[in-house]
């Protein structure tokens, strides 16, 4: 059994640790051996000595009958955009290739506080700014299902590492689908928690040392089983002592059985068409949930897709300006002022969003609040919403073209469905459902009301139980 444990989900590995079937040090070494022989280039920085010391400490705690948290002794990897004390953090950028933080990002500190053993860092595009995971420091991460296909981005290293059984789980991040797209392409589970549940301080970008982060960036876990995401959600919502926080989040457990759920399916929209394989995955999901007794209804856009996307892009470009140099910001402002009023090109829109006035941004924030209220009303009628995770399975590695059933679409349509929730902070779960004829994973996205994270995980577990 010991040699098979690295192939098991995190909750099974933890149970083996609790039953003394394996030590944390032995479990760590099993994963390090898999990383040594892996060809997917997902884990890019390691400190085996520090990891073995942490595993040894976990074993000693168990020998004394102590347990410090829900992840005690479990080896994990961390996306290279999160600062890790004493362990190189580059965010895939050449100018950070020697950056060794003195302090953990808050989310990492929470995982350590719950006993996680950090065994390495996983690859990301430079500063998390691409939908392919490739950079000049470490090169491309390969999709474990087909090395000629992308892993997506920016949490491509985490998704590939989980899919290849190099780690039972990983901590990724999601601003514009960066967590959910790679999970979909690599066939693993990923949760973007309700925004604000997990602190983002110590995530790059922003630059090292900044205390603030984007108002849309959300850390979240990836794993091979929804039950593992639940464990990591508990860890990630439990403050570490260094935060000096006098409270703790107690997320509600599911209040309804699956046969009591009201499920909506938003299967298509002309703003972001999906291919036939994706439609098939949604049909499979509908059959599974209907078979379990849930009331499932197809609906047409609970919000206006194109209006939501426009607002998302406006807020995205606004938050990205925080780290621009004074010189670059001045150049963009001059370029925006030189635009003709009738210029509606993508470049013109980009420049206007990057240089919008504070009043314009405040109006956008008000529009976002109204959009959130629309979603809140929707979730009084339905418990969960299921949408495509992306328009297609993983596209060719390095491609800048998205083809949907033979029709070319915008490259950024890959995250169109994910970004319905990115700026309004709703919890969103990606669950693998089926595969294409070529063996590429296809998943769906499950969306819920704020703080209904565990409701989503319960639906994901129902799907996983039937589809295993």
Task: Choose, from 23, 24, 81, 178, the residue flagged as catalytic.
Answer: 178
Measured distance CA(74)–CA(347) in Å, rounded: 47
> Are 409 and 352 contacting, i.e. CB atoms less than 8 angstroms apart?
no
Q: Is 249 exposed, middle or buried (0-12, 13-18, 19+ CB in 10 A)?
A: middle
Measured distance CA(250)–CA(20) in Å, rounded: 30
Query: Considering only CA atoms, which of 290, 302, 267 is closest in space to residue 380?
Result: 302
Which tokens hold the place of 368? 């976002």
Measured distance CA(156)–CA(331) in Å, rounded: 33
Task: Choose, from 23, 154, 308, 428, the residue flagged as catalytic.
Answer: 154
Strand-pair partners of 442: 434
Q: Any catalytic annotation for residue 154?
A: yes
Q: Any catalytic annotation for residue 280?
A: no
Measured distance CA(288)–CA(73) in Å, rounded: 35
Cβ-based neighbours of 353, under 8 Å, separated by 6 or more: 313, 314, 316, 317, 318
Which tokens hold the place of 3? 């040699």
Task: Choose, from 6, 79, 155, 422, the residue flagged as catalytic.
Answer: 79
Measured distance CA(138)–CA(140) in Å, rounded: 7
Measured distance CA(22)–CA(397) in Å, rounded: 38
Residue 398 region, left (φ>0) first, then alpha (ψ -120 to 50), else beta?
left
Give the torsion sign (CA, 30, 34, 35, 36). positive
* Residues designated catalytic: 79, 154, 178
């Amino acid at each position: 059994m010991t040699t098979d444990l690295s192939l098991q989900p995190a909750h099974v590995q933890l149970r083996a640790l609790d039953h003394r079937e394996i030590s944390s040090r032995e479990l760590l070494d099993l994963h390090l051996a898999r990383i040594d022989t892996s060809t997917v280039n997902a884990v890019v920085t390691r400190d085996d000595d520090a990891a073995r010391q942490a595993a040894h400490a976990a074993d000693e705690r168990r020998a004394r009958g102590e347990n410090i948290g829900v992840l005690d002794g479990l080896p994990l990897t961390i996306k290279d955009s999160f600062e890790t004390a004493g362990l190189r953090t580059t965010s895939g950028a050449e100018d950070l290739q020697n950056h060794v933080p003195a302090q953990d990002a808050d989310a990492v500190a929470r995982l350590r506080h719950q006993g996680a053993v950090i065994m390495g860092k996983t690859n990301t595009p430079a500063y998390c700014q691409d939908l392919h995971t490739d950079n000049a420091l470490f090169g491309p991460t390969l999709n474990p299902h087909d090395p000629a296909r992308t892993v997506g981005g920016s949490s491509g290293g985490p998704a590939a590492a989980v899919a290849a059984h190099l780690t039972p789980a990983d901590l990724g991040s999601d601003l514009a689908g960066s967590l959910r797209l790679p999970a979909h392409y690599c066939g693993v589970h990923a949760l973007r928690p309700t925004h604000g549940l997990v602190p983002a301080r110590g995530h790059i970008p922003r630059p090292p040392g900044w205390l603030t982060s984007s108002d849309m960036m959300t850390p979240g876990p990836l794993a091979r089983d929804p039950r593992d995401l639940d464990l990591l959600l508990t860890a990630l919502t439990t403050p570490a002592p260094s935060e000096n926080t006098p409270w703790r989040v107690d997320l509600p457990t599911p209040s309804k059985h699956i046969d009591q759920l009201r499920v909506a399916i938003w299967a298509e929209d002309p703003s972001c068409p999906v291919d036939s394989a994706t439609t098939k995955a949604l049909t499979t999901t509908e059959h599974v949930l209907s078979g379990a007794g849930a009331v499932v209804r197809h609906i047409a856009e609970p919000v206006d897709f194109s209006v939501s996307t426009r607002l998302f892009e406006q807020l995205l470009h606004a938050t990205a300006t925080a780290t621009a140099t004074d010189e670059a910001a001045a150049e963009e402002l001059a370029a925006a002022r030189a635009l003709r009023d009738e210029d509606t090109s993508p470049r013109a829109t980009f420049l206007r969003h990057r240089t919008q006035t504070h009043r314009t941004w405040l109006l956008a924030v008000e529009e976002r609040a109204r959009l959130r209220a629309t979603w809140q009303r929707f979730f009084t009628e339905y418990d969960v919403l299921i949408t495509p995770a992306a328009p297609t399975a993983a596209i060719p590695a390095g491609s800048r073209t998205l083809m949907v059933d033979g029709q070319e679409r915008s490259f950024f349509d890959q995250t169109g469905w994910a970004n319905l929730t990115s700026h309004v902070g709703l919890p969103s779960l990606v669950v693998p459902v089926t595969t294409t004829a070529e063996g590429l994973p296809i998943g769906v996205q499950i969306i819920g009301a704020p703080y209904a994270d565990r409701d989503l995980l319960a639906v994901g577990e129902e799907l996983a139980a039937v589809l295993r």
